[in-house]
Amino acid sequence: MPNNLSAPSGPGRPKDLAKRQAILDAAKTLFLTKGYANTSMDAVAAEAGVSKLTVYSHFNDKETLFSAAVVAKCEEQLPTLFFELPDGVAVETVLLNIARGFHVLINSDESVNLHRLIMTLGTQDPKLSLIFFEAGPERMLHGMERLLSKIDQSGALSIDKPRNAAEHFFCLLKGAANFRLLYGCGEPLTDEAAESHVREVVELFMRAYRP
C-alpha cells in the first residue's frame, strides 16, 4: 500500500498527518503572536486551512493543542532519539549533540517569545504555566535523566543523582547569555561563540562527573 502520510487513530479512521502538522504550525504562530487567550480554535483552523471539526478531531481542546505545540517545538531540536546512548558512540559526542540542539532551541525567536508569553500567562493562569513546563522542560529533563542513568550504569561517568545532574546540564547551557536574551538586553551566541560555549559546558560537566 502507498504511504499516504496517515496513521490510524481511533476505530478504523486514519488522520492526515499533514493536516495535523499544519494545525500545530498554525497554533505555534498564533499563540506566539496573539497570546493564549486571544487564540481561538476557529482562528487556528483558519490559519491552518482546515475545518474547525478537523482541529477538534486531532486535539480535544485548546489546552491540549497548546501542550502539543510546545512538545512539537521541543522535538524539532531535541527528538527523543537524542536521549539515547548508541553502542560505540562516545558519551561526550552524545552530550555535545544534545547540548547543540538545546542551545539552538532555547535561543530561537520562537522559544524566547514563548518563554515571555508564559511569564505573562503564569500571573493570570498558573495552570497554563504547568502545561508548558510539563510539555517542554519537564519532558526534556526526564529524557536527560534517563540518559544520565544509563551513562552512570555504563561506568563512563559517575552520576548518583541523575535528575540533579540533568538540571545542572541544561542550566549551564542556558547561562547568562540566555537570560540577557530573554530580558531583551543581549544577542544570542552564534557560530564559533555558540560552539565554544557548548563545548566548555560539556567539558565542565564531564570533569564534574568523571569517575
Specify whether the CB–CB gap between 174 and 107 falls below 8 A: no
Specify the pTM: 0.80
- Tell me, yes or no, if the two domains 8-59 and 63-209 fold the same way: no
Domain ranges of the chain: 8-59, 63-209
What kind of fold does domain 63-209 have according to CATH?
A: Tetracycline Repressor; domain 2 (1.10.357)
Query: What CATH class is the domain 8-59?
Result: mainly alpha
Q: Which residues, listed in sequence order, are joined to residue 8 by a DSSP beta bridge?
A: 14
- Decide if pLDDT at 176 tops 70: yes
3-state secondary structure of 6: strand
pLDDT tens digits along 80-95: 778 999 999 999 999 9
What mean pLDDT comes out for the span 4-23? 62
Q: In Å, how far are 18, 41, 91, 164, 171 from 88, measured between CA atoms?
A: 36, 47, 9, 26, 28
